[in-house]
Amino acid sequence: MNWTELITGLVMILIQLALFLLLAPLVTAWVRKVKAIMQNRQGPRMMQPYSDLWKLLRKEVIQPATASWIFTITPYVVFVTTLSVALIVPIFTTILPLGFIGDVIALVYILATARFFTALAGLDAGSPFGGLGSSREMSLASIIEPAMMLAIFTAAVTAGSTNLGTIAAQADVGLLLTPAHLFAFLGLFIVAMAETGRIPVDNPATHLELTMIHEAMILEYSGKYLALMEWASSMKLLLFLTLLANVFLPWGISNDLSLVSLGVGAVGYGLKIFALATVMAVIECSTAKLRLFRVPDLLAASFVLSLIALILFYLLGGESHAVL
């Protein structure tokens, strides 16, 4: 490999990582802002999440007396695994120099790793809230994952690859979605709402024991640890928006390294992300939170949407695009 290639690759990796890391709090802020506007409030300013993170990062950690080293390593595990998806998910370009280390199936399991350790940390402090959060999170995850896998299946089969860069590059770049993609998109959208703890499923803004899921698990975290956990959940939100944007609506994503296409890719990415975030915020404002045991209804809908996506795909005479 020659040097220019190596350096370009390294720069691309660093840009994607930095973008993913730094854009995440902004998207969270945008969702909050849209919600605030819809609720006739002014809402916090857009830079507020950054200030929050900065403040938390400078505060000391308070650790529960009963907690073990699981509690200590979890923030690192969650932060690092969530950040690592920026290496395999196309953000504004489909060129991923390290894309070979994992595909979309690996992505599901990387997210599962973060969830696994968060749930353990929830149990570690010995508080009833932590256990409640862990229990709910793991139970919901078990019904989220089939729907997610089916949606991903559709995307992978239509593109003939499970590599996210290839999926984004080969996805049907018409202006209109095919029915199969529409269904898979809707299925994954519901999954995204559930995975990122948005309103019909969970409420990121509440600390009410009746309703909280994710917040209950991280209730004992403070200071720097809390900063890492919060940042990771922002990144997870951004990740799902990115998946929705780039797998199903890959308009404008850059397939080469020319500056023009990279610029178009970056601008298009920004527009898509903020549009999707707006949609998400609007849905959050216009629906009521579901009771915990009604959530399976929603996820069953997501599962069936994805299943129909596959059926419709075959219907169109689609065959597996895999080159055997």
Partner 1 sequence: MPFCSTDLGLTFDPQIGERLIDLFAAFMLVCSLLFLATERRRLHVRLYAFQSLSLAIVAFSVAFFQCERHIFIAAILTLILKVIIIPIVMERILHRLIPQQTVKPAINIPASLLIAGGLVLAADLLTQSILATGHQFALAQNVLTISIAVMLLALLTMVTRKKALTQVIGFLSMENGLFLAGITITAGMPMIVELGVFFDVLVAFFIMGVFLYRISETFDTINLERLTKLKH
Partner 2 sequence: MDAHLLFIFSAVLYLAGAVSALFGSPKTRWGAYLFAIAASLTGLISSLLVLLNNSPITVHIPILQSLKDLTPTLSLFSNMGLHVDALSAFFVLLISMLTLPVSIYAIGYVREYEGKKSQELLGVLYNLFPLSMLLVVTANNALLFLICWELMTLVTYFLVTFDHENPENVRAGSLYFIMAHVGTAFLIALFVLFYQHSGSLDFDSFRQIAGSWSELPKTLLFFFALIGFGMKAGIVPLHIWLPEAHPAAPTPISALMSGVMIKTAIYGLLRIYFDLLRPDMEWWWGVVILALATISAVIGILFALIERDLKRILAYSSVENIGIILIGVGLAMIFYAYPSSVKFETLASFALIAALFHLANHTVFKGLLFMGAGAVFQATHTRNLEHLGGLIRWMPWTAACFLVGAVAISALPPLNGFVSEWLIFQSLILGLAVPDLVVKVALPVCAALLALTGALVAACFVRAFGITFLARPRSDKVEQAREVPLPMRFGMAVLALLALSMGLTATAIVPVLSNIASSLVNSPGIETALVNGTILSPPAANHGTVSPLGLAWAFLFLLPIGIWFMLIRSPFQRRIAPTWACGLSTLSPQMEYTATGFSKPIRMIFRSLIQPRKEIIEETDESSYVKRRVRVRLDVQSPFDRSFYSPVSAFILKSSRSIRKIQSGSINAYLAYIFLALVVLLIFAR
Output the six-digit token pair for 312: 């419709």
Q: How far is the CB of 41 from partner 2 (least distance, A)?
A: 29
Which of partner 1, partner 2, none sits in contact with 315, Cβ below 5 to 8 A by type? partner 1
Judged on CB neighbours under 10 Å (0-12, 13-18, 19+), 207 is exposed
| Residue numbers 295-324 binding partner 1 by CB under 8 A | 296-298, 300-301, 303-305, 307-308, 311-312, 314-316
Contact window for partner 2 (CB under 8 A) among 4-12, 25-33, 256-264, 288-296 = 288-296
Output the six-digit token pair for 308: 């129909």
Number of residues that bind partner 1 (CB under 8 A): 23
Contact 306, 151 (CB under 8 A): yes
Does 5 bind partner 1 (CB under 8 A)? Our answer is no
Q: How far apart are CA 207 and CA 210, in angstroms?
A: 9
Contact 110, 85 (CB under 8 A): yes
Q: How far apart are CA 79 and CA 72, in angstroms?
A: 12
Does 255 bind partner 2 (CB under 8 A)? Our answer is no
Q: How far apart are CA 38 and CA 225, in angstroms?
A: 32
| Residue closer to partner 2 (CB basis): 79 or 248 | 79
User: Which has the closest alpha carbon to 68: 130, 123, 135, 147?
Assistant: 123
SS3 at position 269: helix
Does 84 bind partner 1 (CB under 8 A)? Our answer is no
From residue 240 to residue 279, what is the string marking binding to partner 1 with x (rule CB under 8 A)? ----------------------------------------
User: Which has the closest alpha carbon to 240: 79, 78, 37, 20?
Assistant: 20
Which of partner 1, partner 2, none sits in contact with 123, Cβ below 5 to 8 A by type? partner 2
Place of tokens 């916090």: 44
Does 113 bind partner 2 (CB under 8 A)? Our answer is yes
Q: How far apart are CA 169 and CA 194, in angstroms?
A: 27
Answer for which of 44, 97, 179, 223 binds partner 1 (CB under 8 A) is 179
From residue 137 to residue 176, what is the string marking binding to partner 1 with x (rule CB under 8 A)? -------------------------------------x-x
Answer for which of 12, 24, 110, 312 binds partner 2 (CB under 8 A) is 110
| Residue closer to partner 2 (CB basis): 149 or 279 | 149
SS3 at position 100: helix
| Residue closer to partner 2 (CB basis): 88 or 280 | 88
β-bridge mates for residue 254, sequence order: 93
Does 51 bind partner 2 (CB under 8 A)? Our answer is no
Answer for which of 9, 38, 43, 63 binds partner 2 (CB under 8 A) is 63
Q: How far apart are CA 111 and CA 174, in angstroms?
A: 30
Q: How far apart are CA 239 and CA 251, in angstroms?
A: 17
Residue 12 neighbours by CB distance under 10 Å: 18
Does 308 bind partner 2 (CB under 8 A)? Our answer is no
Which of partner 2, partner 1, none sits in contact with 290, Cβ below 5 to 8 A by type? none
User: Which has the closest alpha carbon to 62: 225, 218, 229, 215?
Assistant: 225
| Residue numbers 134-193 binding partner 2 by CB under 8 A | 134-136, 138-150, 153, 156-157, 160-163, 166
Does 263 bind partner 2 (CB under 8 A)? Our answer is no
Residue ranges that bind partner 1, judged by CB under 8 A:
174, 176-179, 182-183, 186, 296-298, 300-301, 303-305, 307-308, 311-312, 314-316
